[in-house]
Structures are given as C-alpha cells and as structure tokens.
Structure 1
Amino acid sequence: MSIKRPRTGGAWSWHQDYGYWYQNGCLYPDMASAFIAIDPNTKANGCMQVLRGSHKMGRIEHGRFGDQTGADPERVEPAARVMDLVYVELEPGDTLFFHSNTLHCSDQNTSESPRWSLLCCYNTKHNNPYKESHHPFYEPLEKLPDSAIKEMGSKLFEAKTDFWDPANDETVGTGKDQ
C-alpha cells in the first residue's frame, strides 16, 4: 500500500522494482507489478511517472542516493533525455501493469487530496530467490474440489507469517512518510 496523505510524504526517486528484487536473490527480471489507484492519482498529488520503454534497458545498478535506495543517476539522466516521460494519472480502480525493469518515480503530494494506491507484485514460479529473503517463495497451491467452499464455510483462518516490517528490509530507504 502506498499512502500519500495531503501535503505530506516524500517523493520516491527513480528506481526499478527489479533493482530491489535482484538484491533479494531473484536471478531474472521475469516479474511485473500492478499499481491500482484507490484515490485519483494526478500530477497535483504526485502521481507515478515512468520513462516509456525503459524496461528494455535491463537492470540498472541501484544504491543509496540521499536518503533512498534508487537507480544510478548516471544512467537515469541520459535515459530521461531520450525517452518519453509519462505522468501516470489514474482514476480509482484504474490499474497500471508494468515490467520490473521499468524506471519509475513519484513526486511529493503537495495537494489537498490523498493519494492511496495498492501495489501487487508478481514473480514467475521458476524465479525463486536463491537466498533467504523476507519475500515469499513459490509454493504450489493444492487444487481442491468445488465442494471445499461449502465444507469450509465462512470460518476465519490465522495467518502463518507476520506482516512485512520495513524496519527489517535493507532495500527500503529511511525517508519519512514515503
């Protein structure tokens, strides 16, 4: 969940999602993200920006730049000169699907409107991280008969794992309200 409250929250610097996932042990960029708008995403409230076609560049080195981990500016700057900058303005329910090597960023929310979005990330089953990570590993699902829905009813279940804690994730920047 990306929560950008009105007149608060930092910007996300240019990055590729695979720039982080690579550090978590995924060998291939065979991944995608779905960015789902909960609130209107506009230029005024700092919507996501992408460089059209940047996914074809391959993985760019990521490192600490200021208070965030992001893509190497020596690669981003020339890419921004030759690729179209697209402001991804979305209405609630709109979804942007993008490749894990797509360069993207967002601005601060300086408007009076909130900008909440849900980000879902997808990895192929052959691309399990080779090292221990806070990200889940591929685990085949057991196919059940339709009757299992009736048998289960509306019982609640307990989560087997704790939720992700950004304080324990070295790929997350330390900027406030990001």
Structure 2
Amino acid sequence: MEVVYNEDDYIVNDAMKDAYLKHGYIIVRKLFSLEEVEQIIKNYEEGEAYHKYEFQVKDSDGNHSVQTTWNFPGNDVFGMAVRTQKLVETCAQLLGGEVYHYHSKIVIKHPKTGGQRCWHQDYGYWYNNFVPFPDLITAFIAIDPINKANGCLQVLDGSHTAGRIEHALTGGEKGADMERVEQLLKVCPLKYIEQQPGDVLFIHSNILHKSDTNTSNDRRMAFLPVYNRKSNSPLREGIHPGYTPLDVVYNDAVLDCENYTDLNGKGFLDISDPECLKTVLNLDSAASLKETPYNTS
C-alpha cells in the first residue's frame, strides 16, 4: 500500500494498519520533504563521526556497501528526524503501542561497487540480541533516488507471516536459509520498492528482503532508523539499548535544526573492536571477520 504524506490531514488509518499486517510493509511517499533530505545530507557530510565509525560489509561477489550504526537519536538533524512526531507515531500505530529508538544506520552503495544484500529478515538477527518478539519496525528512508539499477529493496510480500527463518553466513553477512526462501518465492509475490528522496518504506522485522548490487553511476544512500515496542525490550543487555523513553519533537524540527557537528551521546558502534563488529555483522565468531573488510576511516 502507498499513501502520499500531507501534513494537514495525515493519519495512520485502519487501511494502512491492515495493509501492514497483511503484506509486511507500507510506503509513505514524501514523508520527508526535499528540504528535510538536504538537511540530512548536510548533517552526514559535516558530522565527522558518521565517517569515523563507518565500516564495509562485503558480499559474496567481493563488492561492498558502507554502513554506520548508532544507538541513540542525539540532537543533530538525524536525531530530530528520528524523533519527529510523523515518523514516531506512524511506527507506534503500525506496531500497536509505544515505541523507542532501537538503533539507526546509514547504508550507502557507491556507484558500480555497492554490494548486494542477500535475502534476510531483520528479526533473524535481532532474535539473537534477546529481543523476545518481532515487534520491531524499520523506517527505510530514501536519501538518494533508489531504483532497480542502484539496488532498491526487494521484498517478498506477506513473507513475514512465515515466522522467523534460520540464518547462516553468506559472504560477509548472514542470510536466510535459501531452501526456505526458494519455497516462499513460489507463493509470496516479489516486489521491487523504488523510492524518491523523502519516501519512507515501513517494513516488518520478519519480512524477507534483499537488494542487488549498484550497477549504476549513481550513489544509493538510505537512512534506516529502527523502532522497538516498549513492551518488547530485550531480555538481556546487548549491543542495542533496552527501552529508553523517546523525546518526540514537532514535525518542523528537522528544518529548524542547526546542529550538524555535535554528535555527543549518540552511541556509535565502535567497530574497531572485533567483538563489536562481529555482533553488528551477526557473525558467529571473530575469526569470520577475516572474510569481511572493514575500516574506521
């Protein structure tokens, strides 16, 4: 289901909730304006830590995508975006309860080298972080135009109802058991989700999804905040936080924010620590990192 955001009358209605439960995703076009996207890009360009803590995820073909991950919203433009009422309330309504910020990440596929992501479920990873139920949602926010040529997201419509699938190491990341994926491909329609800057794809944590290599001449950048239900706080302390109350801000906060460089308190994951990187990439052992290039530059 697709809806177009209009600040004057936007609500998460029953049709949107039903579509999310049935298909495992919905799209809200233009949830963020082009001016807000420009603010986010400026924050990324000027925020040193977003580059200091980036790392590479290698695929089975030797290509790679670039990722930066952090745990707390902070008070920069990214933090304002994460805490805007329009985004938080959409997630809360779709999940059916109060939500908090579980973590966020930037994923970039550079032209010609941006690697694929194999079939996976997000809860296939987060289950191992002792999150009891798949009551999490990712808001996949397009920063660049995202299309088939540069590796848009592909989803198996309705596959979230199959439950959690076992994951195993594929290249530098874990992917879903392909025997199960092949069976679900026969009964769940494959959808290519193309997005323009500011469009937001809300995806269930158990939906199977993947993306192909960026074969185009254009960068493919996405911002992915993840929200967890308050009632679904992890059972043990782990790499991502338990319930932390979210300070929701008004919808114009992104445009009004002038903080691009003070990134204190965001809790960037320091992947110079092999054990941390192992957990981020969902690997079974630190030894597996020998097959996964990364850097902190």
Q: How would you bin the TM-score normalised by the shorter chain?
A: 0.7 to 0.9
For residues 61-97 of structure 1, the C-alpha deviation after alignment (integer angstroms, 9 at most, x for no partner) is 1121333201111111111122111011001111100
Q: How many pairs were matched up?
A: 167
1:16 aligns with 2:121: yes
Q: Which of 103, 106, 124 is matched with 2:211 structurally?
A: 106
What is the deviation of 1:121? 0.6
- Per the alignment, in what secondary structure is the counterpart of residue 82 of structure 1? coil
Deviates more, 1:63-72 or 1:155-164: 155-164
1:3 aligns with 2:85: no
Mapping of 1:70-81 within 5 angstroms? 70-81=175-186
- Per the alignment, in what secondary structure is the counterpart of residue 231 of structure 2? helix
In structure 1, the gaps of 5 or more residues are 144-153
In structure 2, the gaps of 5 or more residues are 1-105, 249-257, 284-288
Mapping of 1:56-95 within 5 angstroms? 56-95=161-200
Distance 1:88 1:20 in 2: 22
- Per the alignment, in what secondary structure is the counterpart of residue 42 of structure 1? coil
Distance 1:165 1:131 in 2: 20
Q: TM-score, with normalisation over the residues of structure 2?
A: 0.52
Which residue is equivalent to 1:128? 233
1:124–1:76 CA distance, 2 compared to 1 (3 A):
same
Maintained 8 Å contact 1:20/1:171: no
Between the aligned residues of both structures, percent identity stands at 50
Which residue is equivalent to 1:149? none
1:22–1:33 CA distance, 2 compared to 1 (3 A):
same
1:158–1:8 CA distance, 2 compared to 1 (3 A):
closer
Q: TM-score, with normalisation over the residues of structure 1?
A: 0.84
Moved over 3 A (4+): 140-143, 154-158, 173-177
For residues 9-50 of structure 1, the C-alpha deviation after alignment (integer angstroms, 9 at most, x for no partner) is 211000011011101110100111110000111101111100
Whichever residue aligns with residue 65 of structure 1, its letter is T
Which residue is equivalent to 1:164? 269
Maintained 8 Å contact 1:10/1:176: no
Q: CA RMSD in A?
A: 2.4
